[in-house]
């Protein structure tokens, strides 16, 4: 298996169609539940199996919950820094403390006059830049529970991938996703925060376009295309955290969601 991150030029696979489908019937996930086992059970109950080349996109919240990457806000004490920042943006200082604990820096903080609660854009310890350092209370199990990113989303993705591969006896790929906003576009899309075997980027620099001219900077963000597409079926208000992609022709490799991060020297919006 090659280390494909951004290394070698390759063209986008030639396939004419693909399918996406939900894994139905998954339970509410709690700490120490076996995610892989429940995915296997749910598929089997529907008469489904996984096939060579299937890619699963999994909402990080079920990974975080089963791994215990959750915080009870009642057990958090806010630092002076958190209290001051919380006053600026009118957030619960304990939630701000959790955001700070998850972050390496605050990129922007703002509360506009018409807003009740402001916004913190932070760089997560894992390098992702997003609102509230991905600390989230929606789909939590109780009021005051905050869900954080898994400690090592690539590892989580690989653990799930290997368990499913062993059961279904085929090579698979897994993308762990979260839902991010965008600086200049409204609405959110799912993006990749953890990868197993799935290429981060389809590097095309040096390839030729359809008319024979060299493509200089085209590098489709394959893992983010998958994550974004999963939102078409995943929804948010229901319990379909696992989406299966079938029919794509892709090459497994040693990948990491860190390969998607733009280097700091290329960041024009610090």
Q: Contacts with a second copy in 88-117 (CB under 8 A)?
A: 108, 110, 112
> Smallest gap, in angstroms, from Cβ of residue 251 to a second copy?
14
Question: Is 137 in contact with 90 (CB distance < 8 Å)?
Answer: no
Regarding 119 and contact with a second copy (CB under 8 A), the answer is yes
Measured CA angle at 231 (ends 23, 173), to 5 deg: 55
**Kind of pairing between the strands at 70-72 and 145-147:** antiparallel
Both structure tokens of 133: 């350092």
Q: How far is CA 28 from CA 21, 35, 60, 63, 270, in A?
A: 19, 10, 13, 12, 38
Regarding 80 and contact with a second copy (CB under 8 A), the answer is no
32: left (phi over 0), alpha (psi -120 to 50) or beta: left
Among 103, 179, 255, 256, binds a second copy (CB under 8 A): 179
Footprint of a second copy on 197-216 (CB under 8 A) = 200-202, 204, 207-211, 213, 215-216
Q: Distance between CA 43 and CA 105 in Å, rounded?
A: 41
> Smallest gap, in angstroms, from Cβ of residue 166 to a second copy?
26
**What is the total residue count of the chain?**
270
Among 73, 89, 140, 170, binds a second copy (CB under 8 A): 140
> Smallest gap, in angstroms, from Cβ of residue 88 to a second copy?
14
Smaller CB distance to a second copy: residue 164 or 223? 223
Smaller CB distance to a second copy: residue 32 or 184? 184
Smaller CB distance to a second copy: residue 59 or 98? 59
Smaller CB distance to a second copy: residue 36 or 219? 219
Footprint of a second copy on 32-61 (CB under 8 A) = none
Q: Distance between CA 60 and CA 178 in Å, rounded?
A: 6
Smaller CB distance to a second copy: residue 80 or 184? 184
> Smallest gap, in angstroms, from Cβ of residue 211 to a second copy?
6
- Tell me how far apart the 2 most distant CA atoms of the chain are, in Å: 61
Both structure tokens of 109: 């903080």
Smaller CB distance to a second copy: residue 159 or 218? 218
> Smallest gap, in angstroms, from Cβ of residue 227 to a second copy?
9
Find all residues with CB under 8 Å of 50, minimum gap 6, and list them: 43, 56, 164, 168, 170, 172, 244
């Amino acid at each position: 298996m090659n280390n494909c991150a951004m290394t070698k030029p390759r063209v986008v696979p030639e396939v004419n169609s693909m399918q996406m489908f939900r894994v139905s019937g998954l339970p509410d996930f709690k700490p120490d539940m076996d995610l892989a086992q429940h995915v296997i059970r749910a598929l089997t109950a529907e008469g489904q199996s996984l096939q060579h080349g299937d890619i699963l996109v999994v909402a990080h919240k079920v990974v975080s919950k089963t791994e215990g990457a959750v915080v009870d806000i009642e057990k958090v004490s806010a630092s002076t820094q958190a209290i001051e920042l919380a006053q600026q943006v009118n957030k619960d200082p304990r939630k701000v403390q959790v955001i700070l604990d998850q972050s390496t820096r605050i990129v922007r903080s703002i509360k506009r006059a018409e807003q009740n609660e402001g916004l913190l854009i932070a760089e997560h310890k894992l390098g992702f830049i997003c609102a509230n350092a991905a600390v989230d209370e929606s789909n939590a199990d109780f009021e005051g529970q905050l869900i954080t990113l898994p400690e090592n989303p690539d590892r989580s993705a690989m653990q799930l991938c290997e368990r499913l591969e062993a059961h279904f006896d085929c090579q698979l790929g897994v993308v762990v996703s979260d839902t991010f906003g965008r600086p200049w576009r409204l609405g959110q899309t799912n993006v990749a925060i953890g990868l197993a075997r799935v290429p981060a980027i389809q590097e095309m620099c040096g390839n030729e376009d359809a008319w024979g001219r060299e493509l200089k900077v085209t590098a489709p963000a394959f893992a983010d295309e998958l994550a974004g597409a999963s939102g078409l079926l995943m929804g948010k208000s229901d319990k379909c955290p696992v989406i299966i992609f079938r029919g794509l022709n892709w090459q497994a490799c040693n990948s990491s969601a860190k390969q998607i991060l733009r280097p700091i020297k290329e960041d024009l919006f610090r």
